Chains A and B, each alone.
Chain A
Amino acid sequence: MIVELDKLRYQSGRLLLALFWLHVPLFVAVALLTGGAPAMAALAGIVVAGSYHLTWMRSGTAPATRYVSAVALMAEPAILLVLLRGHAWQMDMHMYFFAMLTLTIGWCDRRAVLVAATAVALHHLLLLYLLPSAVFSGQGNLGRVLLHAVIVAFQSLVLVWLSDRLVESFELRERTREAEAASRAKSMFLANMSHEIRTPMNAILGFCHLIARTDLDPRQKDYVGKISQAGASLLRLINDILDFSKNEAGKLTLETSPFDLRNAIASQLQLMATEAQAKRVTVTSEIASAVPHRLCGDELRFNQVVLNLVSNAVKFSENGSVTVSLDSVAEQDEQVTLELRVRDTGIGMTPEQQAALFQSFAQADSSTTRRFGGTGLGLAICRQIVEQMGGTIRVESAPGQGSTFIARMVMSHEDENAVADIAAPEHVQRLRVLAADDNAASRQLLHDIFAEWRISLDLVASGDEALSAIRGADEADRAYDLVLLDWKMPGMNGMETIEAMQAMPHKAPLPRTLIVTAYGADSLTVNGNAPPFAAVLTKPIAPRALLDTIVDIFAHDAAAGHAMEAEAAPALAERFRGARVLLVEDNEINREIAIELLAQAGLVVDCAENGRIGCERVEAAGGAYAAVLMDVQMPEMDGIAATRHIRETWPADRLPIIAMTAHAHEEERQRCLAAGMNDHISKPVDPAALMRTLERWLRPAATPPVVPAPAASVEVLPVRTAASPAILPESLPPFDLPAALRRVNGKASLLHKLIVTFGETYAAVAQDLRTQLAGGFLPDARRLAHSLKGVAGSLELAEIQRSAATIEKLIAEGETEQALVTIAALEVQLVPALAAAASLTPRRSAEASFAGPGHDSDAAVAAREELRDLIRRRSLGARAGFGRFAAAIGLSDGARADHPINRALEKLDYDTALALIGTEEVPSDTEDAPSATDKAGAAA
C-alpha cells in the first residue's frame, strides 16, 4: 500500500469531480453564445458529470472510476465541438482534447491514459470517417484520422511513461520508508533488549562482587572470579550493542557541560592500567599545552572514544607502547577543534582492512575476532560519536608498523560565568582526613585537591608518621574519619601501616582507609580474606574518581546504619537550596513523605490539597515558586486540569511542573506532558530520583523568596522529634520497614506517624469502597483506591498496593463485581497491616478522648475544612474525611464512633453533619487533655 500514491489519486479524483460539474454551466454558456440548445447542452454535461460522480461515490479511486473519468474527459471536448460546430473556434477546440488527455496522468495509471486515447480515437473515427463515409461518398478523411491518431498516440505514450515513473517513484519512496522504519524498529528492539538484559546482568555482577567478599575457598573464589569476568565481558558487549543501536536509532544526544580534559584522559588511562600491565604495554599521554584545561562537551562520550581507542591499542600492542596525545588544531569563535591521536606499536593493518574499520560489526578481519575478541562495534560507535561532535575519525597504519587513530572533535570554550567545579557533598566536607605519601609532589597535589573541596586534610610523609598522627588525633578526641595511604612508602608501606593501625588501642572507631597505588588494584591481594581497606585508587589520582570513591565509602557506611544516616540522604545542589516549591497532593501520608524529602533537600515547601488550591497558591505567589510538584488524581480539580490552568499564565520555562503519580505507564507520562507538565516521577517516590528530577528542572534560588505563606500551607517540615530512642520495632510485617525508612530519608519518627495515620485513615477503606460502589459513586471509589495504592506503595505494603491498583483498574473498566471480589481480598490483606499500625498506637485510657498535646492545630483546621467541603458536596468520602479530622484532633476510637458527626454521616444525613461541623471547634495545642476531652464531649 502506497499511502502517498493513494492520496494523490484521491485528490485527482476529487479535482475531476469539480471539473466535470463546472463544465455544465460552461456548456450552457457556450450553447447560449452559439445559438444552440442550452437545455440539451446542460443535459449532456450532467450526464457526463453524473456518470463520473456515481462511479466515484461507488468505487472511489478504483480502476473503474479512472476509466470512466478517462471517457468523460474526452466527452467534454467532444461536446464542446458539437456546440461550436460552424463556429470559427471549432478547430481550435481540438486543443482541448490534449489538455483533457493530460489530466489522466493524475491517476498514475497507464490504463486510464490508454482508455482516454481509445475514446478519442473512436470519436474521431466515428465523426471524421465512419459517418461522413456513410453519408457523403468519398468524404471520409482517413488520412486526417490517422494523423490525429499518431499525435494522440505520441502524447499517450509520453503520459504512460510519465505515469509509470511516478508510480515507481512512489513505490521507491514507500520501500525506503519501510526500510527505514524496519531499521529503526530493529535498533529500538536491540536497544530495548540490551537494556532488559543489562538489568539482570547488573544483578549477576553485583552478587558476584558480594560473594567474592565472603569467605570462599580458593577454588570457589576462582569460579566466582571467572563468572564475574565473563559477566563483565558480556556487559561490555551488551553496552556496545545498546550504544550502537541507540545511536543508529537517532537517539545519540550529546550533553554539554564543562569538564577537565586532562583528568578525563587520565581517568580513562587509569581504567586501562591493569590490562596494559598484564600485556606489558606502556601507556603514556602527551597533552599539548595549547589544549585548554577545561572545555564544554560531553565528557562521557569523549571518555568513551578515548577508552575505545586506547583499549584497542592496548589489545593489539603486546609488549609495546601506546601513546595518547591531544592537541588543539583549530580555534574559531568559541569553538576548539581537538585532535586526539592514539598511536600504538601493534600489528598494524593493510589498506583494505582500514577501509572496513569504521563500519558496524567489522573488524580488520574475521580472524581478529577469534584472536582478540570484541564486537567490532567500538570503532563504529566512536565514529558515530565523533561525527556527532562535528569531527572525523581516521586511521594511519601499515602492517607490522602499528596504527595511529586520529579523531577530531569540536568542543566549545567554557563559559567563564558557569564554572562549576566538582563540589564535595556537605557530609564529606565534614570529614577529617589524613594522607600519607612519601612523594612531596603527590602531597602537594592532594593538598590542593582537598583544599578545593574544603575538606580538612593533614599530610604526613610515611607510615610511621601516619600512625603517630592517628594516635594523636584519637587521644585528642578528634579522630580521623579517613586515611589515604600510599601503598609503596619507604619503611612501613601502606598495608603494613593499616595492620599496625588496627593493632593499636583506640577510643574512637578506626578511620576508614583508602590505598593509593601506581601498580593497579589487582596487585593488592589479601589472601582470600576481606580487605582491611575500604577502597583502592590508582595513580595518577583523578580528583573526580577520588571524590566518588570517598562518597561511595561513606554512603555505604550510611546504608549500613552508620552514624552518617541523615547526611547520606539525597540532597540538592547548593544553588537550589532555599528555593520554594509548591506541593499539590491530596493524600496526607504522601504529602508528609514528600514534605520530608523536599525539606531535607533544602527546599521551602508550600502545600495545596487539590488542584484548585494549587492554582490559587501559584497565582498568589506571583512567580515565587521554583517548581510545582503535582499529584494527578485529586478531588475537586485534578493535576491535569490544574496544570492547564497554570499554563495559561505560566509557561513551562518559567514554572516547571513535575507530575507525581502512582501511574508508571508511559501513557500517563505522555498525558502529563501533553497537559504542559515538564516531567513525571512515579509514586512511591524514590528520593534520589526526585532529587535528580528537581535538579533538572529547578530554577536556582537567586534571592530568598519572600512569599506570604498561605494560612494552610506548610512552611517548614513538621517533623516531630522522637520521644523515645526506639520509635519503631526492628520489623513490623507486613510493612517493609527498611525500605519504607529509605523513602522518608530514615526518619523513624515520621514513618511511625505515617503508619499510625494509615491505620486510622484506612481502617474502614474496604467498607468505604463497597459503599461507594453500591451507591454508584465510581469516581470517588476509584480515587480512594488510587489513594490507597499510593500510600501503600510509600509504606512498602506491596500486597495492598497491588490489590488497590487492581481495584482501581477494575473500577475504571466498570468491572464492579470483580472489584468487589478484590476488595474482599484487600480486606484480608489489610488486617495484619492495621493490626501492625495499631500496635504502634499508644494505649490510651478509656476515658481519654484526646491523645494529648501532640496534635497539630493547623492540620486539624485543614482537616475540618476538608470535612466541611466533603459534606457540602455530599461526598461519600466525608466518612474518611471525618476519620482524618478525628485523627487530627486526636479523638479516641470510642469517641470517634459515638461522635454525632460520625453518626450523621453513617445515616448519610449531610444536613445535620454540616450543621454539626459548623459548631465544631479545633482544640489548640496548648489545651491539656482533660479540657480537650470536655470540649469534644460538649461538641458531641
Chain B
Amino acid sequence: MIWTANAHRMDTRSAGAPRRRPHREPAGSLRDYLPAAALLTVGLAALAVSWFLSGPNSGQYLVIASPTTSLTGSIDLVRRAGGRLAATSTLPNIVIAGSDRDDFPATLRLAGAWLAVPVPPVAGCITSSAQEPNP
C-alpha cells in the first residue's frame, strides 16, 4: 500500500487521527455504501418513531391495529375501548379516535391495539400554523 508523504506527516502531527488512504479511488464498491445506508435506515426509522410519539395531548389518538384488521375491526376496537371514530386513514388498520378519557390509550392497547398515541402533527416542510392535521 502506498501512503503519501503528506498523509504520513499529518498522521504524526495529530494523534488519534485516522490513517489516510491513498488517493487512488476504489472502483465504486457497494460495500462502501453499506455504512451510509445503515445510518440512513436507522435515522429514518428513528424519525418515523419520534414522529409517531410526538403528538400533543389533543383528545385525538392515532390507533394502529394489527395489519390484518379491517376498517370495521378497527372501528369496533375503538368503540370497545369507549372512544369514537374521528377519522379514517388510507390503511384500514389505522384510524384516528377521539376520547376525553385519560386512560383511553391504555384501554385501547388492552383491547388489542398495537399503538395508541396522541395524533402527531404533520412534520416536514410546513409552516407551524399549518402543522396541525385537519382530520
Q: Is B15 an interface residue (CB 8 A)?
A: no
What chain A residues lie within 8 Å of B42 (beta carbons)? Answer: 47
A257 to B: closest C-beta gap in Å: 42
Q: Are B6 and A72 in contact (CB under 8 A)?
A: no
Within 8 A of B (CB), among A33-53: 40, 44, 47-48, 51
Name the distance in Å between B26's Cβ and chain A's nearest Cβ.
6
**Interface assignment of B62: CB less than 8 Å from any CB of chain A:** yes
Knowing A3-B5, A81-B123 are in contact, say whether A86-B128 is a contact too (CB < 8 A): yes
Q: Given A6-B4, A119-B40, A136-B135, check contact A131 B123 (CB 8 Å).
A: yes
Interface mask (A125-153 → B, CB under 8 Å = 1, otherwise 0): 01110011111110101001000100000
Contacting A at CB under 8 A, from B59-101, are 62, 87-91, 94, 96
A15 to chain B, nearest CB (A): 12
Do A126 and B44 form a contact, CB below 8 Å, given A6-B23, A14-B17? yes
A contact residues around B47 at 8 Å (CB):
78, 82, 123, 126-127
- The interface stretch among A54-62, A713-721, A764-772, A809-817 is A54-62
Complex: A681 Cα to B33 Cα, angstroms: 62
B10-49 contact mask (Cβ, 8 Å, vs A): 1 or 0? 1000100111111111101101111110011011101110
CB distance from B46 to the nearest CB of A (A): 7
The reply to whether A137 and B36 form a contact with Cβ atoms under 8 Å apart is no
Q: Is the CB of B39 within 8 A of A128?
A: no
A68 lies within 8 A of chain B by Cβ = yes
A136 touches B133 (CB 8 A): yes
How near does chain A come to B128, taking the closest CB pair, in angstroms?
Answer: 5
B131 at the interface (CB under 8 A from A): yes
Which of A88-96, A233-241, A739-747, A912-920 is the contact stretch? A88-96
Q: Across the two chains, which residue of chain B brings its CB closest to A87?
A: B128
**B22: chain A residues within 8 A (beta carbon):** 1, 6
Cβ-based interface call for B50 (8 A): yes
Chain A residues 295 to 336 lying within 8 A of chain B, measured CB to CB, are: none
A91 touches B6 (CB 8 A): no
A51 and B35 contact, CB distance less than 8 A: yes
Shortest CB distance A445–B (Å): 64
Name the distance in Å between B42's Cβ and chain A's nearest Cβ.
Answer: 8
A1 to B126, CA, bound (A): 46
Q: Please state if A61 and B35 are interface contacts (CB–CB under 8 Å).
A: no
Of the candidates B2, B31, B122, the one whose C-beta lies within 8 Å of that of A132 is B122
Verify B23–A2 contact, CB threshold 8 A.
yes
B58 within 8 A of A: no
Instruction: Evaluate whether A81 and B39 lie within 8 angstroms (CB atoms) in the complex, with A62-B32, A134-B91, A136-B133 already known.
Output: no
| B10–A10 touching, CB < 8 Å | yes
Q: Which residues of A contact B54 (CB under 8 A)?
A: 82, 85
A124 touches B33 (CB 8 A): no
Beyond A10-B7, A133-B90, is A126–B19 a contact (Cβ under 8 Å)?
no
Q: Chain A binding site: helix, strand, loop or mixed by DSSP?
A: helix
Within 8 Å CB of A88, what residues of B?
A: 128
Q: A6-B7, A60-B19 are in contact. Are A135 and B89 (CB under 8 A)?
A: yes
Minimum Cβ distance to chain B for residue A93 (Å): 10
Does A122 sit within 8 A of B, measured CB to CB? yes
Question: Given A6-B20, A60-B18, A91-B127: A82 and B90 within 8 A (CB)?
Answer: no
Which of A68, A82, A132 contacts B36 (CB under 8 A)?
A68
Give A365 to B28 CA distance when docked, in angstroms.
52
Q: Does B51 contact A (CB under 8 A)?
A: yes
Residue B125 at the chain A interface, CB threshold 8 Å: yes
Min distance, Cβ B45 to any Cβ of chain A, angstroms: 9
Expressed in whole angstroms, the minimum distance between the Cβ of B52 and any Cβ of chain A is: 8
Q: Are B36 and A131 in contact (CB under 8 A)?
A: no
Compute how far the CA of A64 lies from the CA of B39 in the bound complex, rounded to whole angstroms: 12
Interface string of A1-40 (1 = CB under 8 A from B): 1110111001000100000000000000000000000001
A63 within 8 A of B: yes
B63 CB, nearest partner CB in chain A, Å:
10
Residues from chain A with Cβ under 8 Å of B33 in the complex: 64, 67, 115
A91-B127, A124-B124, A128-B125 are contacts. A135–B23 as well, Cβ < 8 Å? no
A91, B119: Cα distance in complex, Å: 21
Are A68 and B122 in contact, with the CB atoms below 8 A? no
Chain A residues with Cβ below 8 Å from B125 are: 91, 94, 124, 128, 144, 148
Closest to B120 in A: A135
Q: With a CB–CB cut-off of 8 A, which chain B residues contact A55?
A: 35
CA distance A61 to B6 in the complex (A): 14
A861 to chain B, nearest CB (A): 54
> Which A residues, 64 to 90, have Cβ-Cβ distances below 8 Å to chain B?
64, 67-68, 70-72, 75, 78, 81-82, 85-88, 90
Q: Smallest CB-CB separation from B95: which chain A residue?
A: A135
CB contact between B32 and one of A6, A63, A91 (< 8 Å): that residue = A63
CB-nearest residue of chain A relative to B119?
Answer: A135
CB nearest neighbor in B for A135: B89
Cβ-defined contact, B43 with A75, below 8 A:
yes
- With A1-B22, A119-B40 already in contact, the answer to whether A67 and B32 are too (CB < 8 A) is yes
- What residues of B have a CB within 8 angstroms of the CB of A123 in the complex? 44, 47
Cβ contacts under 8 Å, B19 to chain A: 60
With A58-B18, A82-B54, A85-B131 in contact, do A1 and B23 touch (Cβ < 8 Å)? yes
Instruction: List chain B residues, Cβ under 8 A from A6.
Output: 4, 6-7, 20, 22-23
Quote the shortest CB–CB distance from B18 to chain A (angstroms).
4
Per the bound structure, the CA–CA distance linking A734 and B46 in Å amounts to 92
CB–CB A90/B32 < 8 A: no
A56 to B123 alpha-carbon distance, docked (Å): 32
**What 0/1 readout, one digit per residue, does chain A (834-845) give for beta carbons within 8 Å of chain B?**
000000000000
Assess the B90–A134 pair: CB atoms within 8 A. Answer: yes
- A44, A62, A127, A136: the one contacting B89 at CB < 8 Å is A136
Chain A residues with CB under 8 Å of B91's CB are: 134
Q: Provide the B94-132 mask, 1 if CB < 8 A to any CB of A, else 0.
A: 101000000000000000000000011111111110010
- In the complex the two chains form, what is the Cα distance from A153 to B87 in whole Å? 36
CB neighbours (8 Å) of A134 from chain B are 89-91, 94
Do A131 and B51 form a contact, CB below 8 Å, given A68-B35, A91-B128?
yes
In the complex formed, the residue of A with least CB distance to B127 is A91
Among B10, B48, B122, contact of A139 (Cβ-Cβ < 8 Å): B122
Interface residues of A in 82-117 (CB under 8 A from B): 82, 85-88, 90-91, 94, 111, 115
Residues of B contacting A82 in the complex (Cβ-Cβ under 8 angstroms): 47, 50-51, 54, 123
Also in contact, A51 and B39, with CB within 8 A (given A3-B4, A62-B26): yes
A376 to chain B, nearest CB (A): 39
Question: For residue B2, which residue of chain A has the nearest CB?
Answer: A1
Within the complex, what minimum Cβ distance (angstroms) separates A553 from chain B? 57
- Across-interface contacts of B6 in A (CB, < 8 A): 3, 6-7
Please, which residues of chain A bring their CB within 8 A of the CB of B29?
63
CB contact under 8 A between A135 and B62, given known A59-B18, A82-B47: yes
Min C-beta distance of A16 to chain B, whole Å: 13
Q: Which residues of B contact A75 (CB under 8 A)?
A: 39, 43
Q: In the bound complex, how far is the Cα of B17 from the Cα of A1, in angstroms?
A: 21
B residues in contact with A81, CB < 8 Å: 123-124
Residues from chain A with Cβ under 8 Å of B34 in the complex: 64
Q: Are A71 and B18 in contact (CB under 8 A)?
A: no
A63 CA to B21 CA, complexed, in Å? 10
Least Cβ distance of B48 to chain A in Å? Answer: 6
Distance in Å: Cβ of B108 to nearest Cβ of chain A: 16
Contact partners of A2 in chain B: CB under 8 A: 23
25 contacts between A and B (CB under 8 A): A1-B2, A3-B5, A3-B23, A48-B43, A57-B18, A58-B18, A59-B18, A60-B19, A62-B26, A63-B29, A64-B32, A64-B35, A71-B39, A82-B47, A85-B121, A86-B56, A87-B128, A90-B126, A119-B40, A127-B124, A128-B124, A131-B51, A131-B123, A132-B122, A134-B91
Q: Which 3 A-B pairs have the closest CB atoms?
A: A67-B36, A128-B124, A127-B124
| Extra contacts besides A86-B128, A124-B124 (11): CB < 8 Å | A1-B24, A14-B14, A44-B46, A61-B21, A63-B28, A70-B36, A75-B39, A82-B50, A122-B44, A123-B44, A136-B133
